[in-house]
Amino acid sequence: MMRIPLPLFIAIPLVMAFLLPVFSGLGRKGKAVATVLANMTTISLLVLAVACIGQSGIYKIGKWPIPLGINLVLDGLSSLMLLAIGVVSSAAMLFSARYMEQYTAKAKYFCLFLLMVAGMNGVVLSGDIFNLFVFLEIASLASYALVGFGCEHEELEASFKYMVLGSIGSLFVLFAVALVYGNTGSLNMAAISDTIKNSGVNAGLAFALCLFIAGFGLKAALVPFDAWLPDAHPSAPAPISAMLSGILIKALGIYALTRMVFNVFGVSIQIGWVLVVLGMLSMIAGAFLAIGQWDFKRLLAYSSISQIGYVVLGIGLGCTLLARGEIAYASLAILGAVFHLVNHAVYKSLLFLTSGSVQMSTGTRQMREMGGLAEKMPVTRATCTVASASIAGVPPFSGFWSKLILVIAAVQAEFYWVAAIIVFVSLCTLIMYLKVQRYVFLGELPENLQQVEENKGSMLVAMVFLACLCVLMGLLVIVPSLKASILEPAVNALTDGLGYSAKILSM
């Protein structure tokens, strides 16, 4: 059994989410205590996630045996996602200690933020498809409210658009869950996987898989379904943009999709090709649309779409190769995709945090109105450069390694044109981030921005923490022991495919 009870990952943020509004009703000291408690919650989740590295196990809630009860499953992929959620949420919470002074109702903010973290942890740990849906909805509802937190014109419009599309996505997922229950008679992922292994995928289940791809694709902002992301991410407060772009679209969209495709339904060539095509569309569309943007955060949002395309491309490649039976090549592709997912979580959240820092100092998001902030805001500039170099794929930083692995995997599997497109989109990414650097930090300082100064305190700590991680994460693939303990269990959990059910049912 597990040393650490798995429901703690869900219970701690839930309890703190409902405890904090009680504190903040007690005046200024109460608000400070609430902030400290919220930060301690996210940091303790990070510590717990680090303690769970390399372990695996299941936790039966209420001690009900598996087909009857809900169980929580920790395997390699789940522990990696927990680690990523812990890192990004701690950094965003540290940042928001100072940043959210601009808004009123900070207590509700912490409540919603911790609910979102609890929801994401629940999605990642759940071993039961309806439980996954419930936690998906918890996290989504909290994020709809957080996007419109400032209640200004644009934020409300963005929040409404996000909410409508997100609800439609969740309803697709619920419909698919109902179809799967009707066709297999069970809600537990291991039991469904067992049934599908024995009797194959019939028409109802194939339709359910299409609905799952549509629903999770809406949450992950793949290209036909990404209409909400360019509006929602810029309008949200900066730490929320970091959370949304950095971890929410991945935990809710990509993780759930991979879990369904690899472990529950089993891989097949058609699904692999669908994912490859969706990934490539996202990469190209996101990159092209991002280059023409003049709003800093909108550019970052389009760049998110592009980078998620990388991850989905890698997953699709892995799926196709696994279905053909070439496990070694598939492992490499999935390793690239999973590593890119973790990398992108770190550097995209860092980019959004720096854009929030810039916005807090200068009061604007339009890059035409900024310039020359390099002398005035040195720490922000340094961390933004580190993150931009990372995302563009400059050698010693982490982004380079994950893109290299993806290119090698594509070349090895003889998808040469896919490799060419990956390299081309990396060039586009480099162009867009050179544009960011040039217009925001280099160049002339306009007169109305002569008085800006660097932000202090917790915001700097958060940004420097993430920047150090950007630099150090390249070591995750180079040092074999780190790779074997953190990344490989995730890859193995996916390439095991339908063996997931045998592992779970035997525990």
Partner 1 sequence: MAEKEKNPNGAKGMTVIVKTISSWVKVLIFLFGIYIIITGHLTPGGGFAGGVILASSYVLLMLAFGREFVEENLSLPVASRLDCVGALLFAAVALFGLFFGAASFFYNYLHQDYLAEKETALRLISAGTIPLSNIAIGLKVGASLFLVVLVLSIFRPEPSGSKEERD
Partner 2 sequence: MLYALCFLLFMIGLYCAVVKKNMVKIVIGIMVMEYAVNLFLIMLGYRFGGRAPIVGKEDVAGVGGQVSDLFVSSSVDPLPQALVLTAIVISLGSLALMISICIRTYEKYGTFDITKIRRLRG
Q: Which residues in this chain contact partner 1 in the complex, by CB under 8 A?
A: 5, 7, 11, 14-15, 18-19, 21-22, 25, 59-63, 104-105, 108, 151
Instruction: Look at phi and psi of residue 104 and say left if phi exceeds 0, alpha if psi is from -120 to 50, else beta.
Output: beta
Residue of 355, 373, 375, 374 lying closest to 365 (CA atoms)? 355
Which residue stretch of 23-31, 71-79, 84-92, 228-236 sits at the interface with partner 2 (rule: CB under 8 A)? 228-236
Q: Identify which range of 41-49, 150-158, 262-270, 311-319 contacts partner 2 by CB under 8 A.
A: 150-158
Q: What tokens were used for 119?
A: 């929801």
Q: Which is nearer to partner 1, 154 or 442 (CB)?
A: 154
Q: Assess 171 for contact with partner 2 (CB under 8 A).
A: yes
- DSSP-assigned letter for residue 371: -
Query: Considering only residues 125, 231, 317, 320, which one is a binding residue for partner 2 as defined by CB under 8 A?
Result: 231
Residue 7, both tokens: 């429901």
Q: Would you count residue 505 as binding partner 2 (CB under 8 A)?
A: no
Decide which of partner 1, partner 2, none touches 483; Cβ closer than 5 to 8 Å per partner kind: none
Contact assessment for residue 39 and residue 93, using Cβ atoms and an 8 Å cutoff: yes
Does position 212 interact with partner 2 (CB under 8 A)? The reply is no
Task: Identify the CA nearest to 92 among candidates 137, 162, 45.
Answer: 45
Binding at 134: pick from partner 1, partner 2, none (beta carbon under 5-8 Å per type): partner 2
DSSP notation for 309-353: HHHHHHHHHHHHHHHHT-HHHHHHHHHHHHHHHHHHHHHHHHHHH
For residue 295, list its beta bridge partners.
366
Nearest C-alpha neighbor of 143 from the set 123, 126, 128, 125: 123
Tokens, residue 48: 């717990």
Handedness of CA 476, 482, 486, 487 (dihedral sign): positive
355 interacts with partner 2 by CB under 8 A: no
Are 57 and 507 contacting, i.e. CB atoms less than 8 angstroms apart? Answer: yes
Which of partner 2, partner 1, none interacts with 158 (beta carbon under 5 to 8 A by kind)? partner 2
Report if residue 144 touches partner 2, rule: CB under 8 A: yes
Of 127, 140, 128, 130, the closest CA to residue 169 belongs to 140
User: Which one among 5, 54, 182, 457 touches partner 2, defined by CB under 8 A?
Assistant: 182
Q: Which listed option, partner 1, partner 2, none, makes contact with residue 14 (CB within 5 to 8 Å by class)?
A: partner 1
Question: Count of CB atoms within 10 A of residue 266's CB?
Answer: 20
Q: How far is CA 414 from CA 15, 26, 328, in A?
A: 51, 64, 14
Binds 164: which of partner 1, partner 2, none (CB < 5-8 Å by kind): partner 2
The structure tokens 């990509």 sit at: 254
Q: Report the nearest approach of partner 2 to the CB of residue 256 (Å).
A: 16
In the complex, the smallest distance separating the C-beta of residue 63 from partner 1, rounded to whole angstroms, is 5
Smallest gap, in angstroms, from Cβ of residue 373 to partner 2?
Answer: 23
Half-sphere exposure of residue 278: CA atoms within 13 angstroms, side-chain side: 26
Q: Which of 141, 196, 334, 491 binds partner 2 (CB under 8 A)?
A: 141
Nearer to partner 1, 5 or 185 (CB): 5
Q: Minimum distance from CB of 65 to partner 2 (Å)?
A: 15
State the DSSP code for 71: E
Residue 63 binds: one of partner 1, partner 2, none (C-beta under 5 to 8 A by kind): partner 1
Q: What is the dihedral of CA 376, 378, 384, 387, to 10 degrees?
A: 170
- Cα distances from 311 to residues 268, 273, 305, 346, in angstroms, run 18, 14, 10, 14
Among partner 2, partner 1, none, residue 127 binds (CB under 5-8 Å by kind): none
Q: Give the one residue of 36, 101, 152, 363 binding partner 2; rule: CB under 8 A.
A: 152
441 contact choice in partner 1, partner 2, none (CB below 5 to 8 Å, kind-dependent):
none
Smallest gap from Cβ 469 to partner 2, in A, equals 32
Q: Report the residue number, 227 or 452, with the smaller CB distance to partner 2.
A: 227
Interacting residue ranges for partner 2, rule: CB under 8 A? 130, 134, 137, 141, 144-145, 148, 151-154, 156-160, 163-164, 167-168, 171, 174-175, 178, 181-182, 187, 230-231, 234-235, 293, 295, 298
